[in-house]
Structure 1
Amino acid sequence: MSAPHLPKVAGIDPEVPVSAQTAAPLREIPAAPGAFIQDRLAGWVSDLTTLHELTERLAATATLDAALNELLHAGAALVGARRGLLVLERAGTTTPSTTLGLGLGPADLGHLETVERSATALGRVLDGPPDAADARDGIATPDLLGDQDLDPRHREVATRLGYAASYALPLASEGAGRLGGAVWFYDEPGEPSEKQRHLVGLYARYATEHLARLTELERARADIATVAEELLPSRLPRIPGVRLAARHRTGPQGGGDWYDALPLPDHALGLAVGSVGGSGPSAMAAMGRLRASLRAYAVMEGEDPVAVLSDLELLLRLTEPARTATALFAYCEPAARKVVLAGAGHTPPLVLGDRRCEYVETTLSAPLGMLACWEAPSVEFSPAPGETVLLYTDGLLRRTGDAMDRAFARLHSAAASVPKADRRDPAAVTDHVLRAMLPDGLDRSDSTEDVVVLAAHFD
């Protein structure tokens, strides 16, 4: 007969032997297992926050130059450097390379260009195979002057400029390919940590995609500007008794503002400005057709500006019924100092001289394409010797950002403030007016408005 089993109490098996040894007292309280993980997570969050802020600042750039400057500064902050150099050159294109320095003057860049390209880390990331390890991780040179195999010219330039280490990284991504490379210089021997390399690598890949988009955008803008210039007069005519000057800038999407100046029989001169509704290639093509048509009508019946615009209205209504346009045409006889003009929904000219600065009173009329039959009376006036007639499009007024009444007052003030020494030079008049109206310049990329200014100075 077997012995009875002892009962189990609280899940303890009494048959299991119990150790007679006692545990040593705890001298230190061990850290919680999650503390290390929490520190790592806090570091990752901080790094991601920094990366997010830098990429947001880069994404806010609208021009290639601004993006390249932002990339150089952000990369220097990520790798802990003070100076840097960036080269943008896309393989297989005719686009010239772009070189930009951070903390380096023109003379410093000149010295760096004297070093053989293959002897520099930047040259190796630019010319090396796209799938090489350097194309992914970059090239660190922690002790440049301690390298016994360093190119003598490179050593001389590094000593002159005072840098002792460098880190070069290609600007490349799977979608955009390789666009160029960047290198950052250290004043003392050193190199970025593994974490810094990882962060700057992520940033550089994002920056490459952004740079590729901006490059294509600027190329498209340049093509649009070229087409717009080809659609406008290549040169202004020379007519005795009058001197001309014109300024024109096309918006980034391409617009329909235009001007023209053409010699007419009997030493007369035809001046025209106008604007086609809309933007883009369609508006530019319509602008070209409208300007060509006006030239033909001006040659046939330029002495009657109303007839010229009436013919233009009929053509626009028959061929492009869904489009509207504004136009102003002036028939000038410089010898007699006589100007006859008519406008269709266009802004009035401004006359500037030593004794007056005033708008020409024109009859209010609808733009072309809005009436079944357009006709408005013409206006005749006589500019005095030394006076300048200023024609312009409303894009000049809209680019100021002011309400139209304030913009007109601003234009009047800008014209009145032209120095007397410049009032006999139509080019100086237009430049002064543009500087006064648009202090930020004509080439602002955030403005969609075209600008046209045409000045005629009567001797």
Structure 2
Amino acid sequence: MSAPHLPKVAGIDPEVPVSTQTAAPLREIPAAPGAFIQDRLAGWVSDLTTLHELTERLAATATLDAALNELLHAGAALVGARRGLLVLERAGSTTPSTTLGLGLGPADLGHLETVERSATALGRVLDGPPDAADARDGIATPDLLGDQDLDPRHREVATRLGYAASYALPLASEAAGRLGGAVWFYDEPGEPSEKQRHLVGLYARYATEHLARLTELERARADIATVAEELLPSRLPRIPGVRLAARHRTGPQGGGDWYDALPLPDHALGLAVGSVGGSGPSAMAAMGRLRASLRAYAVMEGEDPVAVLSDLELLLRLTEPARTATALFAYCEPAARKVVLAGAGHTPPLVLGDRRCEYVETTLSAPLGMLACWEAPSVEFSPAPGETVLLYTDGLLRRTGDAMDRAFARLHSAAASVPKADRHDPAAVTDHVLRAMLPDGLDRSDSTEDVVVLAAHFD
């Protein structure tokens, strides 16, 4: 009778005899990995850290120009070059190409443009088949002047600009396609190492995705700005006794701030500013409807601003009950220098002249869409000869980042500081006020507020 088999345990074969001898204790600690392996690991960590920092800096860019500049500088650092050239041109796009240089002045770029495109590595990267090896790995020209087949004009330009080698890389990815290409120039013969090519290739693919997003974002912003401008007056009317100037900027998402100036019977003039709540296409569409409706009411009963805004309130409450808006309408008789205005939740106008700079005392009223009945009467005042009436939306105040009381004080100070030589030019008045209120300019990409300023100078 055979002996019973011992049960099998995972990883142990019971039929293999177990040695009765114990292993000798370790008397020496195993040697650490060699210096070569340590150096290689340290190099990998350093490369990954550098790549991470560069991609983080690129991701922080919010505009296309900033991203292109960052890409050129980062690529030059990765391949060890001092100068470079980038061309952004998406196939099939109606957007004109963008050319940007690093360490190259306008005259240098002009010289480079005289070289036939097919004779340069950048041209071959831009025009070659997307699936070609060059389109993936880039084109290195380690010794331009030593190349016997180099285009004579290219040789002349390289000698003039003082570069002896180049490395061109496409800006392409599977998702975004090919957006353009970049080339970096070396002062001496040379080319990037295999490791440098790998790192700059990884960076370029990430940069391409980022550039594609920014390109679409800027195209959308341009479309929104175009639509917003089309909804506003294409030109301001010319009425004897008064001169007009307007400045308007739409936020990146599209907003509902608007203005209008329309001639009325008997040489009168209607001025209006307003703001629709919300942002985006819906607010822009509501702004267009509100402005068109106010124009119709102003033509019918413009001499009574309260009636105009009352009709507008009723229309908004019946057609768009979930929408609110602010508005201010002023009926002006320039010959008599008489202004009658009414406002619904809107900021008061500012009067600027040689002897005064003050806000017009308007009656308080809730915004349109929030009124049970109209109770705020109109206000009448007479601007003196040479005075300017400044209408604006609260976006001008909000863009300052200050509390509203401080923003009002800042606007008053900005208007009061207009040089006397400029106070008879409404365009100069608006520009000075905007510079004083918004030192960073109207086109800040990080602001979502619309800005409207409308100035009427009475002769």
Moved more, 11-20 or 45-54: 11-20
Q: How far is the alpha carbon of 1:29 from its aligned partner? A: 13
Alpha-carbon spacing, 1:304–1:14, altered in 2? closer, same or farther (3 Å): closer
Q: Deviations over 1:38-61 (max 9, x none)?
A: 332221111111101100100000
Q: Cα deviations across residues 82-113 of structure 1 (Å, max 9, x unaligned)?
A: 10000000001111000000010000000000
Within 2, Cα distance between the matches of 1:72 and 1:38?
Answer: 32
Encode CA deviations 1:127-162: one digit per residue, 9 max, x unaligned: 000000011110011111111111111111111111
Q: Secondary structure at the match of 1:147?
A: coil
Structure 1 pair 2–258 and aligned structure 2 pair: CA distance change class (3 A):
closer
Deviations 1:358-402 (A, max 9, x none): 100111111011122233111100000000000000000000111
- Checking the alignment, whether the CA contact within 8 Å between 1:326 and 1:344 is kept in structure 2 is yes
C-alpha change, 1:150 and 1:355, in structure 2 (3 Å) is same
Q: Identity rate of aligned residues, in percent?
A: 99
What is the CA-CA distance between 1:7 and the residue it aligns to?
A: 30
Shift in Å, 1:36: 3.4
Question: Which sits farther off after the overlay, 10-19 or 86-95?
Answer: 10-19
1:33: how far off?
A: 3.8
Change over 3 Å in CA distance of 1:420–1:25 after alignment to 2: same
Q: Does 1:197 align with 2:206?
A: no
Gap change, CA 1:313 and 1:4, over 3 Å in 2: closer
Query: What does 1:335-346 align with in structure 2 at a 5 Å threshold?
Result: 335-346=335-346
Distance 1:323 1:38, change over 3 A: same
Unpaired runs of 5+ residues, structure 2, are none
Change (3 A) 1:10 1:380: closer
Alpha-carbon separation, structure 2, partners of 1:59 and 1:181: 19
Q: Cα–Cα, structure 1 residues 292 and 14, in superposed 2: closer, same or farther, change >3 Å?
A: closer
Q: 1:33/1:373 Cα in 2 relative to 1: closer, same or farther (>3 Å)?
A: same
Alpha-carbon distance change, 14 to 170 in structure 1, aligned in 2, over 3 angstroms: closer
What corresponds to 2:445 in structure 1?
445
Tell me, in whole angstroms, the C-alpha distance in 1 between the residues paired with 2:167 and 2:249: 42
Q: Distance in 2 between matches of 1:15 and 1:318?
A: 92
Distance 1:11 1:330, change over 3 A: closer
Q: Distance in 2 between matches of 1:87 and 1:123?
A: 10
Q: Which moved more, 1:19-28 or 1:367-376?
A: 19-28
CA gap 1:264/1:12 in 2 versus in 1, 3 angstroms = closer
Any conservation in 2 of the 1:314–1:373 contact (CA below 8 Å)?
no
* Displacement over 4 Å in runs of 4+: 1-31
Count matched residues.
459
Partner of 1:253: helix, strand, or coil? coil
Per-residue CA deviations over 1:170-220 (Å, capped at 9, x if unaligned) read: 000000000000000011111111000000000000000000000000000
CA positional deviation for 1:422: 0.8
Q: Distance in 1 between matches of 2:368 and 2:99?
A: 49
Map Cα deviations across residues 408-437 of structure 1 (whole Å, 9 max, x no partner).
111111111111111111111111111111
Supply the distance in 1 between the matched residues of 2:229 and 2:13 (Cα, whole angstroms).
97
- Bigger shift: residues 240-249 or 366-375: 366-375
Which deviates more from structure 2 when the two are superposed, residues 402-411 or residues 371-380? 371-380
User: In 2 relative to 1, CA 42–302 (structure 1 residues): closer, same or farther, beyond 3 Å?
Assistant: same
Asked if the contact 1:313/1:373 (under 8 Å) is kept, the reply is no
Aligned partner of 1:69 in structure 2 is: 69
d(CA) in 2 for partners of 1:14 and 1:449?
79
Q: 1:12 to 1:458 in 2, by over 3 A?
A: closer
Call closer, same or farther: CA 1:6–1:353 in 2, change over 3 Å: closer
Mapped to 2, the partners of 1:263 and 1:76 lie a distance apart of: 59
Answer yes or no: is the 8 Å Cα contact 1:338–1:381 preserved in 2: yes
Could you tell me how far apart the structure 2 residues matched to 1:4 and 1:320 are? 90
Question: Structure 1 residues 456, 41: closer, same or farther in 2, change over 3 A?
Answer: same
SS of equivalent to 1:90: coil
Residue 32 of structure 1 corresponds to which residue in structure 2?
32
Provide closer, same or farther for how the CA distance between residues 304 and 148 of structure 1 changes in structure 2, counting only shifts above 3 A.
same
Check 1:29–1:315 CA distance in 2 against 1; reply closer, same or farther (3 A cut): closer
Task: Describe the SS at the equivalent of 2:328.
Answer: strand
TM-score for the superposition, normalised by structure 2: 0.93
SS in 2 for 1:335: helix
- Note closer, same or farther for the CA distance 1:365–1:142 as it changes in structure 2 (3 Å cut): same
Q: Which residue of 1 aligns with 2:368?
A: 368
CA contact (8 A) 1:263 1:269 kept: yes
CA distance in 2, matches of 1:378, 1:215: 48
What's the offset of the Cα at 1:285?
Answer: 0.2
Shift of the 22–112 alpha-carbon distance from structure 1 to 2, 3 Å rule, reads farther
Is the 8 Å Cα contact of residues 306 and 375 (structure 1) preserved in structure 2?
no
Change (3 A) 1:4 1:169: closer
Rounded Cα–Cα distance in structure 2 between residues aligned with 1:233 and 1:429: 20
Q: Which deviates further from its counterpart, 413-422 or 20-29?
A: 20-29
Q: 1:35 to 1:421 in 2, by over 3 A?
A: same
Deviates more, 1:374-383 or 1:349-358: 374-383
**Alpha-carbon spacing, 1:22–1:151, altered in 2? closer, same or farther (3 Å):** farther
- Unmatched 5+ residue regions in structure 1? none
Query: Aligned with 2:47: secondary structure?
Result: helix
Residue 148 of structure 1 aligns to a residue in which SS?
Answer: coil
Partner of 2:174: 174
Label 1:31 to 1:364 Cα distance change in 2 as closer, same or farther (>3 A).
same
**Per-residue deviation, 1:16:** 21
Report the CA distance shift for 1:18/1:383 in structure 2 as closer, same or farther (over 3 A). Answer: closer
Residues 246 and 5 of structure 1: CA distance in aligned 2, closer, same or farther (over 3 Å): closer
Structure 1 residues 433 and 21: alpha-carbon distance in aligned structure 2, compared to 1, 3 A threshold:
closer
Instruction: Name the CA shift for 1:301/1:194 in 2 (closer, same or farther; >3 Å).
Output: same
Report the CA distance shift for 1:138/1:7 in structure 2 as closer, same or farther (over 3 A): closer
- Going from structure 1 to structure 2, the CA distance change for 1:5 and 1:80 (only over 3 Å counts) comes to closer
1:255 maps to 2:255: yes
33-42 or 199-208, which deviates more: 33-42
Partner of 2:118: 118
Please give the alpha-carbon distance, in whole angstroms, between the structure 2 residues aligned to 1:12 and 1:318. 84
**What residue number does 1:9 align with?**
9
Cα separation, 2, equivalents of 1:394 and 1:456: 18
Instruction: Look up the match of 1:415.
Output: 415
Alpha carbons of 1:89 and 1:25: their partners in 2 closer, same or farther (altered >3 Å)?
A: same
Evaluate the alpha carbon distance shift between residue 151 and residue 308 of structure 1 in structure 2; reply closer, same or farther with a 3 A threshold. same
